[in-house]
Structure 1
Amino acid sequence: MHKLLIWSFLFMTGISYSQYNLTGSILDANSEEPIIGATVYLQEPEKGGISDVNGNFSINNIPSGNYTLVVSSLGYGTRTQKVSIPSDEPLTVLLSPTAIEMEEVIVSTPFHQLQSDNVMKVDRATMEEINRTGTLTLAEGISNLAGVETISTGTGIGKPVIRGLSSNRVLVYTQGVRLENQQFGDEHGLGLSSSGTESIEVIKGPASLLYGSDALGGVLYLNPERYAAEEDTEVDAKINYYSNTQGLEANAGFKTSGENLKFLVRGNYAVHSDYLTGNGDRVTNTRFNEFDLKSGIGYRTSGYKGDLRYNLNSGEAGIPEEIGLQSTSKEIMEPYQKIQNHILSLDNNFYFSNSSLDLKLGYVFNNRKEFEGEHEEDHEGETEEEHEAHEEGKAALEMELSTINYDVKYHFPEAANFETILGVQGMVQENRNLGEEILIPDATTVDLGIMATTHYHLEKIDFQAGLRYDHRDLKTSEMGSLGEPDYIADLERNFDSYNASLGVKLNVAKNLTARLNFASGFRAPNLAELTSNGVHHGANRYEIGNPDLENEQNYQLDLALEFGNEHVEVFTNGFYNHINNYIYLEPTGNFQDEAPVFNYIQNNAILYGGEAGVHFHPHPLDWLHFENSFELVIGEKEDGNNLPLIPAPSLLNTLRIELPKMDFAENGFFSISLKSFFDQNRTDEFETSTPGYSLLNMGLGGEFKLSSTVIGLKLTGTNLLNETYIAHLSRLKPEGIPNMGRNISVSAEITF
C-alpha cells in the first residue's frame, strides 16, 4: 500500500504541463489611469506579480485551466475575476477607489474567496492591527475581534470565547492543522504566540461541516506569516517594553525566496513580572515567560505547492491565588504551569488542468506540567520517598498529548457555476500521564469524517450547501486501584453525528448585502467530562465524570446585513443557537478532600444575540475613520437558569487616523478607543454579577524609510485612566482580584 502511495505521489508531482503567460493592465475605474504597484495573483497555484509604472503585469509559467485572479492595491477595492489560460488577449482590470482597507482571501472557508464574496460571514484581522492595541499576549489580542472574548487567569493564561462558548466547543487551527493541547480545562491557555502569525479569522457558529467535532461553537483560524516575495530577502528585529509588568519582548526573523524555493525562521522571547492593578497592588504569581520558534520551507512549481512548517512554543506561567508578596521579580514561583507545544505541518497542493487536490498533514505534541506549592496537608499519608519527590521540584501533574491529523480535499472542475469539494479528515490521538496526579486517564481517540460541500454562483445570489458524517472511537485505560477514592474505570465509547449547512448570500441592492446561514454542529464529550474523579486544583473543586454522556448537538441560524458606500458602512449580525445535551457542572452539596463536589450533567440550552456596528469614513477625508460596534450574548439553560461564563454586553467606540503616505514617514496611524462593558446580571446561580466599567486605549506610530532600511516605531496605552475593575470572565473574580491597570507599551522595529 505504501509503495502505491509513493508512486502516486511521484506521478502527480511529475506531470508535465504546457506553460502559458497571463498579461494585462490594472487601471483606475474612474480615470482609467494606470495603477502602479497593484498586487496581482492567481489563487491557485498562488503565482503572482506587481503592476509596473504603466500598470502592466505578467504572470509566467501557468498551466492551462480556469483560475481566480485576485487584484488589490492600497486605496482601491480588492477585485476577483475568473480567467482562462491560455488567454487570447491581454486582460484589463478596473479597480474602484475606496476608503476601506484592502480585502484579503478568507482561508478558513473551503472556497478561498474574498469576504465580500463569501456566503458564510467570517471576521478577519491582521496581527499588525491587533498589535496596535498594545496587548501583552495573543489570547488578550483576540478579544478585540467582534464576538470574541477571553477567559483569563491573570495575564499569562487566556483562552478564547466565541459568542459565549469556549474550551472544547471552540476549535483552534494554526498552520492549517487543529491545535490539541488539553483545552478542556478552564486554566489551560491558548499555548500560541502572535509572533510569526499573519492574520486571524473567526468563524462564529457551528463549523462542524468543515472541521468536525469541537467546532460546535466556532473556529479561531490563525494564518502563518507569509514568505518573502519572489527573489527577495528580508531580515527584521523588534523589541517591545511593557510598563505595567516591566515586561520585555524580543523578536527577530529572516526569510528569503527564490523562484521555486522559500525559507523563513523567526524567534521570539517574552518575560513579564506580576501585573499591577489599578489600585497599585501587584497580583502575586501572575508572572510568565514564553519562547517561540517558527520555521518554514516552501516549494512551488507550476503543478505543485508545498509548505512545511514547524513551531515550538514553550512557556511558564504562575498560577495566582492571592495578592500577597509584592515583587517585580521575573523568576517563576510555585504553583505554576510549564507548557510545551510542538506543531509540525505539511500542506500539499496539487494543481491539475481544471481541478486540484489539497493534502494537509499535521503532528502536534503537547507536554503539560503543573508544579504545586508546599502544603503540609497535601503530604499526609505519603512515604518519605514521595515527600522528597515533592521537595525536589518534580511536577505533581504531567501529561503528554500527541495528535496526528490529516485533511484531504478534492476540488472538482467548476461546471455550470458550481464549485464542489469532497473531503476526508481524521485524527489519531494519545494521552499519557507521567505525574502522580491524574486529571484524565491514559486514552486513545480516533476520528474519521467525510464531507461534501458545493457553491453555486449567480450574478446577484450565491448558494452554499454541505453534508458531513463523523465517527469517533474513544478508549481509556484503568487508572488507580479498585475501591480507592480516585479510581477511574476503563471506558470504551464511540460517537457518531451527521451535520449539514445551507447558506445564501443575496445582493439586495447596489450597496446592500444579506447573508442567511443555517448550520448544525456537534461535540463529543471530552475525557474530563466522561472520566473525571478527583480534585481539579486549578478550579478548586472535586469533579466526577459521567461515562454515559451523549453528543452535544446544536442548530444555529445566522442573519447578516451589510450596507456600504463611499462614506459609511453599517452591519448587523444576529444569531440563534439551540444546543441539545449541553454538558455542564452542577454542585452536589457534598465535600470531598475539602473541596466541593461537582457532577457533569446534561441539559438543553440556547444562546442568542449578535453584533452591530457603524464605520464612518467621510470622502474625501479617506484617512479619517469613526467606528462603533456593539456585542450581546444571552445564554440560558432549558430549566430557565442562565449559562455560566457568558461575556458582558460591550460597546466599542474608536477614532482612527490612517496615513499610508506622508512627507517624512509611511503607514502612520493614530487611534483612540473607549470600550465599555455593561453590567452582567445574567449569571449562573453559582456566579456573581459584575458591574460595568470602561477602558480608554490609545495608539500611534509609523515607519521611517532610510534607503532600503525601514524603522517602525509604535507607542500604545491600555486602560489609560487606570481603572480598577474585575472582568466577568476573569477566573480571579471569586477572589476579588482586579484585572490589569494602566499599561504603556513602546515598540521599535527595523527591517532590512
Structure 2
Amino acid sequence: MMYLLPLWSVFALLPLSDASLNGAVVDAASGKPVQQASITLIEINRTTETDAKGLFQFNNLPRGRHTLCLHASLYASIHTVIEVPLKQPLTIQLQYHTHFDEEITVTAAPWAIKPLDTPQTLSIISAEQLSVAATSLGEGLAHVPGVDQIGTGDSLGTPVIRGVSENRIKVMHDGIGQNHQQFSFRHSPNIETAFAHKIEIVKGPHSVLHGPDAMGGVINVISALMPTAFDSDPTLEGSVVLGHETNADRNTAQASLQGAVEGFGWRVGALNRQSGDMETPEKILENTDFEQSNYELNLGYSGEWGTLKAKATHWEDKTGFYRPVDFRLNLDNDFYSVEGLHFMKAHQLSWMAGRQENRRAAYPAALNGKPAVDLELNTTTGRLKWRLPARKGGNYQLNATFVLEYTDAENTPHAKKKLLPAYTSDNLSFVSFQELAWGSGQAGKHVISLGMRFDTQNLEVPAAASNILSHDFQESYAAFTGSLGYVRKINQKASLALNLSRGWRPPNTFELFANGIHGGVSAVQIGNRDLEEESNTSYEVSLRTMTDHFSGSVTVYHTDYDQYIALFDSGEMQAGLPVFRYRQEDAIMRGIELEMDWFPFEILRVGGNYTAIQSENLETKNSLPQTPANKGSLQLEWMWRSLGKLHDVHAGMTSELVGGAAISGSDEPFGTSTDAYQLLNLSVGGSLSMGAAKSQTLQINFMIENALDETYKDFLYPYKAWADNAGRNFILKLNYRF
C-alpha cells in the first residue's frame, strides 16, 4: 500500500505557535505519585523529571507528533506517540517491573519504534553493557549473538555480522554513514565507543534504509541526547574515567563535561589510551603497542520550531602489527555534521549534512619510515527526510516517510605506490517507507512495513591514477532494493516477525583495481575489472518475548547471494608473496540465533545465547571465507541494589564456548583451521554516592578476562598462524560522575 504525497501539502507547511505538555506519573496499583521518573521527547531532544508529587511539564514545544519515553526505577518503561497540544493533562500509569527496561530503536525504521514491533532482528547495547575494556567497535560488540570480530591486536576490531564484514556492513554515527576505507578485513571502523550512549545493530540486509553498504547489517553508534534546561535552572555535569589493564600495561583516561542554558546544550569529551605489546599465555607479541587520542564536541538548540544539532569528532590511532614484522599504521579520522528537525503542522522535516576526512598511512619496515600506502578519503553526505502525518481510521494507522540522500567520495593517494588508485564516486538515492498497523490494543495487533529504494552510483578513475588503465574509467550502477515485513503482536509480551529484504552493492574500487603488494596482509592483491554488482535476498523468521522475569528470542534466517565477491588464493607467487585475486560466484548463508535472560530470583540473572552459521559457495561447494565458528555463552550475575555503603552492586561470571572451524580450501586466504575453546570471564562492581547531597557518584568495576589464562586461537584472528590470542587480563575502571 502506497502513501501518496499530495502536491498541496507542500504549501500547508507553516510554522505554528509553541505549546505545552503537562501531566502526572502514578503507580498503577496504588495510585501514588512516582517521583524522579525520566520523561523524554525523542524527536526534539527534551528530557525532564517528575517532582515529589509525580508531576512534570514541558514548555515551548512544537506542535505535532512526539515519541514520549518514560523510565523509572522498578517500573516498566513506557513508549507512546502523542499529539501536542493535548486537550487535557496526561496521566501515565506505571506497572511494577523489576528487571527489563525495553528501549526503542531509531535505526530499524525511519521513526522511533519498539524492538518487538520491528520485522528485522535488532540488538541494542547500552553504554553499561559495552565491555569495560573495549578499545574498538568490533571488540565491544563481539558478545552479541550473530556478531563476531576480526581483531588485529587490541586497538583494531572489524565487526562481522552473520558472516560478512567490510563493505557489506554499514557503520553509522548518529545515523550518518561512516567510510573508513573498509575494503580489507583489517580496516576496522574509526569511531570511539566510549562516547556512545548506546549502539544499535540491525542484522541482515537493510539497504532499503541505509544504502549499498548495508546488505549484511547496520551498526549505529548513538550519542546521548543533548541536555536542555527549559524546565530547570542551568545545568553543569561531567565525569572522569580512569582505567588500567595488566595485559599490555594499558592505561585509559577519559573526561567529559556537559551543560545547558534553556534550549541550548553542549557536550565535550576527550579520551587517551596508551598500550604496550599484547601478551599471550606464552609470549609477548612485539610491535602491537598503540596510542589512541579521541575528542568530541556537540552543540544543540531546541525551540518551539524543532531542534538543531552540530557535531565535531577526531579519532586517531598509531599502532603496529605483529605480522608483518615491524609494520606500523597511522589512522586519522575527522567527522563533522549538522542536522535539524522541524515540526510543521503534522509534518516532520529533518535534514543532515556531514563531512568525513579519513587518512590511512602504512609504514612497512623496509621503507625506513616512509609510507608505502597513504590514502586520503573525503566523504560528503546530505540527507532530507520528510515524515508525513499519520492517517488514522477505525482501528488502523498508516505512517509514511520519504528520504532523499546524496553521498560524494573522493580518494587521493599520497604515496608513490598505487595499490589503490585515485577515484571519485557519488551516490544518489530515494527511499519510500510505509507502515500499516491494525487491530485493537496490543493483543492481536498486526504491523506490515514496506520499503522501496532506488540507488544510482557513478565511479570515475583517471588513467593516470592507475598503472593498469590505458584510458579513463567511468561506470554507472543502479538498482532497486526493498523490504517487506510483517509483525504479529501475539500479546503484550510476545511477537512473531517475518521479514523479506533485498540488499545490493556495486564492486568497490579496490575489488576492481587493486594491483600490488598490500603490506598489511603480506600479500599481492589483484582486482578484477569484470566484476558485476552483488545482491542478496534474505528470509527471516523471529519469535520474541519479554515478561517480568524472562526475555528471549529465536531467529532463523536464510540469505541467497548473487555474484558474491571474495578473494581467493590463486596459487601464484610474486616477490615471495602469495597472490590473491577477486572473483565472484553465487552463495548462500543460513543460521540460527538464540538469546535469553532469566531472573529466577530477584538478585540473580541467568543469561545465555547461541549462534550457528553455515555458508556455501555454490560453485566450489566450499564454505565462504572467514565464516565464523559457532559459539555460545552462559552468564550468571548477582545484583544487589545496596550492600553496605555501595549501591548497584554486581558480581558475575561468563563462560564462552566457541566451536572449531575449518578453512574453505583455496577460498580462505591465510587459511589456518582452529580448534574449539572455552573461556571464563569474571566481573564485580558497584557505586558509591559522595558529596553533601549525595549528588556525586564513584563507580568501580573490576574484571578478569580469560581468567584461566587459556591458550586458544579464534578462527577470525589474523595472527592465528603465528601466535595465540591474548592471555589473562586484569582490568580496573573508575568512573567519577559529578
The answer to whether the superposition gives a TM-score over 0.5 is: yes
Cα gap change, 1:661/1:54 in structure 2, threshold over 3 Å: closer, same or farther? farther
CA-CA distance at 1:313 after TM superposition: 0.5
After TM superposition, list the pairs within 5 Å mapping 1:343-742 onto structure 2: 343-374=335-366, 390-391=367-368, 393-416=369-392, 417-458=397-438, 459=440, 460-479=445-464, 490-618=472-600, 621-639=601-619, 640-681=621-662, 683-685=664-666, 686=668, 687-707=671-691, 708-735=695-722, 737-742=723-728
Between the aligned residues of both structures, percent identity stands at 25
Match of 1:260 in 2: 263
CA distance in 2, matches of 1:613, 1:260: 41
Contact 1:298 1:306 in 2 (8 A): yes
After TM superposition, list the pairs within 5 Å mapping 1:58-137 onto structure 2: 58-108=57-107, 109-132=109-132, 134-137=133-136
Contact 2:118 2:497 in 1 (8 A): no
CA-CA distance at 1:290 after TM superposition: 0.4
CA distance in 1, matches of 2:116, 2:55: 26
CA distance in 2, matches of 1:227, 1:670: 32
CA distance in 2, matches of 1:718, 1:137: 16
CA distance in 2, matches of 1:655, 1:517: 33
CA distance in 2, matches of 1:709, 1:615: 31
Q: Give deviations 1:588-623, integer Å, cap 9, x for gaps.
A: 3222222222221110011010211222113xx333
CA distance in 2, matches of 1:314, 1:435: 20
Contact 1:186 1:539 in 2 (8 A): no
- SS state of the match for residue 715, structure 2? coil
- SS state of the match for residue 58, structure 1? strand
Match of 1:31 in 2: 30
CA-CA distance at 1:549 after TM superposition: 1.1
* Amino acid corresponding to residue 645 of structure 1 in structure 2: Q
CA-CA distance at 1:566 after TM superposition: 2.6
CA-CA distance at 1:364 after TM superposition: 0.3
* Amino acid corresponding to residue 543 of structure 1 in structure 2: Q
Cα gap change, 1:12/1:540 in structure 2, threshold over 3 Å: closer, same or farther? farther
- SS state of the match for residue 238, structure 1? strand
Contact 2:25 2:54 in 1 (8 A): yes
What's the TM-score, normalizing by structure 2? 0.92
Instruction: Judge which range, 561-570 or 421-430, deviates more.
Output: 561-570
CA-CA distance at 1:491 after TM superposition: 1.8
CA RMSD of aligned residues (A): 2.0
CA-CA distance at 1:434 after TM superposition: 0.6
CA distance in 2, matches of 1:349, 1:661: 42
Indicate which of 241, 245, 249 corresponds to 1:246: 249
CA-CA distance at 1:676 after TM superposition: 0.6
Q: Give deviations 1:433-464, integer Å, cap 9, x for gaps.
A: 11022221000001001010011122411111
- SS state of the match for residue 391, structure 2? coil
Cα gap change, 1:699/1:488 in structure 2, threshold over 3 Å: closer, same or farther? farther
Match of 2:5 in 1: none
- SS state of the match for residue 214, structure 1? helix
Q: Give deviations 1:29-79, integer Å, cap 9, x for gaps.
A: 233322211112323323332112222211222233333322221222222
- SS state of the match for residue 629, structure 2? coil
Match of 2:305 in 1: 303
CA-CA distance at 1:570 after TM superposition: 2.9
Q: Give deviations 1:340-388, integer Å, cap 9, x for gaps.
A: 00000112111112111111111000111111103xxxxxxxxxxxxxx
- SS state of the match for residue 530, structure 1? helix
CA distance in 2, matches of 1:236, 1:448: 41
CA distance in 2, matches of 1:570, 1:171: 26
* Amino acid corresponding to residue 408 of structure 1 in structure 2: L
Cα gap change, 1:29/1:528 in structure 2, threshold over 3 Å: closer, same or farther? same
Match of 2:6 in 1: none
CA distance in 1, matches of 2:338, 2:476: 29
Contiguous gaps of at least 5 residues in structure 2: 1-10
Task: Report how many aligned residue pairs link the two structures.
Answer: 707
- SS state of the match for residue 130, structure 1? coil
CA-CA distance at 1:506 after TM superposition: 0.6
CA distance in 2, matches of 1:209, 1:150: 25
CA distance in 2, matches of 1:12, 1:277: 66
Contact 1:75 1:101 in 2 (8 A): no
Contact 1:284 1:321 in 2 (8 A): no
Structure 2 residue 214 is the aligned partner of structure 1 residue 211: no
CA distance in 1, matches of 2:216, 2:517: 27
After TM superposition, list the pairs within 5 Å mapping 1:306-325 onto structure 2: 306-321=308-323
CA distance in 2, matches of 1:436, 1:632: 44
What's the TM-score, normalizing by structure 1? 0.91
Contiguous gaps of at least 5 residues in structure 1: 1-10, 325-333, 375-389
Q: Give deviations 1:370-408, integer Å, cap 9, x for gaps.
A: 11103xxxxxxxxxxxxxxx44x2222111000001121
